[in-house]
């Protein structure tokens, strides 16, 4: 098979480091011209230089992607420099971990802004272009298991990431009639971000570096391509040599009251039926312990 993204044009946000860098390089390797966004200009320019040195095409739009002007400029740059836009990879993100009691309003706002607003600005601009131009498009958003499962100390980040999974699903529904697809990934890899969350992650013994950030990019490139034209509104876990698919929030059990409004006190007797039928414990759970792949037990 030839290149997956020959003659395509893609945007990648937060592309200076970590997963975004790997995604920009892989999209370029698959034939796409890439418009990179990065908050830190020299870091972003270094990736642009790496792509052009390898014979690819890339330009940088430096700036904070949570600003509407930067989202607009990314789409304008793709159209001006490369004449079209085919794919958008929303990746830029930050952490400000703290338990909710200690979390400042600034820590809450910063994370919500970069992730949720940073996904909105680009998606809004790209979808507007695709709707007006009647051209198909593909978006890959970056969620996290922290949002899908919930992670201690990440109330701001997890709320943003769960919001991104919902945002992706809704964009997929709204844009289907315009031929635009929207999917989300929940990646896991060893990057500057995860070092700050988990400390230094050791390299494994095997030849394959399971937590290398570049392991995530091939699936993102595939989702951006026409080969994935039938896939939309889904959430995938991606790490190492594995790709998982998540089910959306799904009702698993119900209790009813014979067509009458409930008395509050009835739940004292009846609520247990829900947990029993659903196979769910009523207490707060540490859902991250259900991860298939963790940095702690897979070096
Ligand atoms: N690494 C993981 O295991 C993991 C797990 C789940 C989700 N994610 C998500 O993947 C994405 C990439 O994470 P990473 O691990 O590569 O992190 P990273 O810190 O290595 O890279 C993030 C990049 O985004 C840039 N950035 C941050 N804020 C920006 C802004 N406002 N505008 C433009 N650029 C900005 C940073 O400068 C940096 O280059 C993030 O959305 C993150 O939440 C990562």
Mutate to test the pocket of ligand 1, among 12, 16, 20 (most ligand atoms within 8 A of CB): 20
Instruction: Tell me whether residue 289 is in a domain.
Output: no
Give tens-digit pLDDT for 80-90. Answer: 999 999 999 99
Reply yes or no on whether the pLDDT at 76 is more than 80.
Answer: yes
Range of the domain at 96: 9-246
- The pLDDT value given to residue 23: 99
- The pLDDT value given to residue 261: 98
Reply yes or no on whether the pLDDT at 200 is more than 70.
Answer: no
Reply yes or no on whether the pLDDT at 250 is more than 90.
Answer: yes
Mutate to test the pocket of ligand 1, among 13, 14, 165, 200 (most ligand atoms within 8 A of CB): 14
Q: Stretch 205-210: mean pLDDT, rounded?
A: 86
Instruction: Tell me whether residue 291 is in a domain.
Output: no
Instruction: Tell me whether residue 273 is in a domain.
Output: no
Instruction: Tell me whether residue 26 is in a domain.
Output: yes
Dist. CA 117–CA 71, nearest whole Å: 10
pLDDT grade for 205, boundaries at 50, 70 and 90? low
Instruction: Tell me whether residue 238 is in a domain.
Output: yes
- The pLDDT value given to residue 195: 84
Residues with CB under 6 A from ligand 1: 13-14, 16-20, 37-40, 43, 64-66, 91-94, 114, 118, 142, 144, 187-189, 191-194, 213
Provide the whole-model pTM: 0.97
Contact 125, 90 (CB under 8 A): no
**More confidently predicted of 121 and 206:** 121
Dist. CA 157–CA 150, nearest whole Å: 9
Burial class (CB in 10 A: 0-12, 13-18, 19+), 130: buried
- The pLDDT value given to residue 299: 53
CATH number of the domain bearing residue 222: 3.40.50.720
Residue 282, classed as helix, strand or coil, is: coil
pLDDT grade for 206, boundaries at 50, 70 and 90? confident
Give tens-digit pLDDT for 5-33. Answer: 999 999 999 999 999 999 999 999 999 99
Instruction: Tell me whether residue 67 is in a domain.
Output: yes
How far, in whole angstroms, is CA 231 from its chain's centroid? 16
The whole-chain average pLDDT of the chain stands at 96
Contact 56, 82 (CB under 8 A): no
Reply yes or no on whether the pLDDT at 251 is more than 80.
Answer: yes
Instruction: Tell me whether residue 69 is in a domain.
Output: yes
Instruction: Tell me whether residue 4 is in a domain.
Output: no
The total number of structural domains that make up the chain:
1
């Amino acid at each position: 098979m030839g290149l997956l993204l020959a003659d395509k044009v893609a945007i990648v946000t937060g592309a200076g480091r970590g997963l975004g860098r790997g995604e920009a390089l892989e999209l370029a390797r698959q034939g796409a011209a890439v418009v990179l966004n990065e908050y830190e200009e020299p870091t972003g320019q270094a990736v642009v230089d790496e792509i052009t040195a390898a014979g690819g095409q890339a330009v940088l739009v430096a700036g904070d992607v949570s600003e509407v002007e930067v989202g607009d400029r990314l789409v304008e740059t793709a159209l001006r420099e490369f004449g079209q836009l085919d794919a958008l990879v929303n990746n830029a993100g930050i952490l400000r971990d703290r338990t909710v009691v200690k979390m400042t309003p600034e820590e809450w706002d910063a994370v919500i802004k970069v992730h949720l607003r940073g996904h909105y600005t680009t998606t809004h601009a790209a979808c507007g272009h695709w709707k007006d131009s009647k051209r198909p498009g593909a978006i890959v958003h970056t969620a996290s298991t922290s949002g899908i499962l919930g992670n201690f100390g990440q109330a701001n980040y997890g709320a943003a990431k769960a919001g991104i999974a919902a945002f992706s699903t809704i964009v997929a529904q709204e844009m289907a009639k315009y031929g635009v697809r929207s999917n989300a990934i929940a990646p896991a890899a060893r990057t500057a971000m995860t070092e700050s969350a988990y400390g230094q992650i050791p390299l494994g013994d095997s030849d394959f570096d399971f937590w290398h950030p570049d392991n995530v990019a091939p699936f993102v490139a595939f989702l951006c391509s026409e080969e994935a034209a039938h896939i939309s509104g889904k959430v995938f876990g991606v790490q190492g040599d594995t790709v998982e698919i998540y089910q959306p929030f799904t009702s698993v059990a119900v209790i009813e009251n014979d067509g009458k409004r409930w008395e509050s006190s009835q739940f004292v007797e009846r609520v247990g039926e829900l947990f029993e039928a659903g196979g769910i414990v009523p207490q707060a759970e540490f859902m991250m312990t259900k991860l298939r792949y963790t940095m702690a037990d897979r070096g």
